[in-house]
Structure 1
Amino acid sequence: MSTEPPEGPPPDQPPPGSPYGGGPYGPPPPGGEEGGPWGGGPSGGGQGPYGKGPYGKGPNGPYGGAPDPLAGMPPLAEGGKRVLARIIDLVIVLIPAVLLDWAVGGLRGNDFSTGRSAVGGLFTAGIGFFYEWTMTRDRGQSIGKRRMGLRTAMLADGDIPTSQAAATRALVLWLPAFCCSFFWFVIIGITVLLDRPYKQGLHDKAARTVVVRAD
């Protein structure tokens, strides 16, 4: 009877060269161990440095391996508070716009049901742009956002928007108010509520900004 051992590795050991054995690949990668760099393994089971909030569970989110730009920033603003803040701002803009429109004869007498004239549309777009631009560039807050405890921030670093970013944001937001403000703000609101992961409206995407809690 032959006393030579059977060929191949023992059945209770992985074959040579296996990435989990003693082959050229060494021990298992640290991401597969309990307590790896992002918590419970590569599947993101742990909470990780980004928590479980709206910014994802780790760096492998929408930026494909780059750190999340909102890590360490306040949480994103709630959709309801953003809607209320915009309503406040609309009232602030529309009051002087309607009065100016009435003063130049765009509205006849006291019959405000006839709507705005083209001149009134210009007043709305112009006043809205100037209001949004100056307040966003100065402190990141319109009056509506201040009342709701929100602020606008640059997506890249969380700073107050630059003058150029604030102007771009205000232009996209208010220029269509010349002719179709109601429908345009409905579209803006829908994009804010549906966008993921940063709840950006079309004006936010154009300016690369986000709206976060101020506190």
Structure 2
Amino acid sequence: MSFGSPNNPYGQPQNPQEGYGYPQGQQYPQQGQQPGYGYPQAPGVPPQGGYGYPQQPGYAGGGAPAPRVASMGRRFGARLIDGVVFGVIYIILAVAGAAGAVGAAKDCDPNAADYSTCINNASSDFVAKFGAVIGILAIIGLLYEWLMVGLVGRTLGKMALGLHVVNAETGQKPGLGKSFIRWIIPMVGSIACGIGQLLVYLSPFWDKSGRQQGWHDKAAGTMVVQN
């Protein structure tokens, strides 16, 4: 009976690992290499991220670590806080305007011949002041959302809940250009009784990218992340 080849007089297999539980013809790690650990990957399945977890969607530019996408609950909470801030400002301005209009109406003498004219003037004054309050709120809203998101990356509500608006490409602050686009789209949607604005703020629920970007975020190239 012949054992091995003539160059192998001891009859051992040429591959030193054959015959010890390794199938013949399989590639084996060379000397000094460590064998791989973990579970074998199923055929056709792409490798997962570190420690068996899939990678989170990162910034498009790849220049920063993968962000932690902000939850919709936190985003809603931040909007609610910002709404309360604006509500307080609105109440202060509205009360001041109404007090001025009431004061003007009190100055009208019921016994005077021009009483009706005086009341009409007081009413017109109230309407004008109410319009001024709305205009002031719009300007404050523009400066508040636009400047704070563009320069700081967050409003007071986002600060309270640990949220940041960032450039989706780099992870840096959006800048004034992107933040203006992000602000103006919901404002345009608010013209139709606020329905369009509501849809814009709900649109992250329909985003399939994993970043929960709303329509305003996609147009501006931004995303919301949390600490």
Question: Is the TM-score greater than 0.5?
Answer: yes
CA positional deviation for 1:53: 4.8
The correspondence for 1:150, drawn from 163, 168, 172, is 163
Residues 104 and 41 (structure 1), Cα distance of their counterparts in 2 relative to 1, 3 Å cut = farther
- Rounded to whole Å, the distance in 2 between the matches of 1:118 and 1:202 is 30
Residues 142 and 195 (structure 1), Cα distance of their counterparts in 2 relative to 1, 3 Å cut = same
**1:47 matches 2:40:** no
Aligned amino acid, residue 47 of structure 1: Q
Moved over 6 A (4+): none
SS of the residue 1:180 aligns to = coil
**1:173 matches 2:174:** no
Identity percentage over the alignment? Answer: 27
CA positional deviation for 1:196: 2.0
Residues 42 and 98 (structure 1), Cα distance of their counterparts in 2 relative to 1, 3 Å cut = farther
Write the deviation string for residues 46-103 of structure 1: whole angstroms up to 9, x where unpaired: 21479525429xxxxxxxxxx8446623210011011101111112123213432443
- Greater helix proportion: 2
| Count of residue pairs the alignment pairs up | 160
Q: Is the 8 A contact 1:124 1:178 kept in 2?
A: no
- Normalized against structure 2, the TM-score is what? 0.57
Q: Determine the structure 1 residue equivalent to 2:207.
A: 195
CA positional deviation for 1:173: 3.1
Aligned amino acid, residue 165 of structure 1: K
**1:80 matches 2:67:** no
Q: Is the 8 A contact 2:154 2:163 kept in 1?
A: yes
SS of the residue 2:225 aligns to = strand
Residues 162 and 74 (structure 1), Cα distance of their counterparts in 2 relative to 1, 3 Å cut = same
Q: Is the 8 A contact 2:178 2:221 kept in 1?
A: yes
CA positional deviation for 1:178: 6.2
Aligned amino acid, residue 191 of structure 1: S
- Rounded to whole Å, the distance in 2 between the matches of 1:178 and 1:97 is 19
Structure 2 stretches lacking a partner, 5+ long: 1-35, 103-129
Structure 1 stretches lacking a partner, 5+ long: 1-33, 57-66, 110-116
Q: Determine the structure 1 residue equivalent to 2:198.
A: 186
For the aligned residue pairs, the C-alpha RMSD in angstroms reads: 3.6
- Rounded to whole Å, the distance in 2 between the matches of 1:93 and 1:171 is 17
CA positional deviation for 1:176: 4.5
Write the deviation string for residues 85-131 of structure 1: whole angstroms up to 9, x where unpaired: 111111212321343244345xx87xxxxxxx655543443221210
- Rounded to whole Å, the distance in 2 between the matches of 1:157 and 1:51 is 23
Q: Is the 8 A contact 2:189 2:200 kept in 1?
A: no
Aligned amino acid, residue 190 of structure 1: L
CA positional deviation for 1:141: 1.0
Q: Determine the structure 2 residue equivalent to 1:13.
A: none
- Rounded to whole Å, the distance in 1 between the matches of 2:161 and 2:139 is 24
Q: Determine the structure 2 residue equivalent to 1:205.
A: 218
SS of the residue 1:138 aligns to = helix
Q: Which has the larger Rg?
A: 2
Q: Determine the structure 1 residue equivalent to 2:172.
A: 159
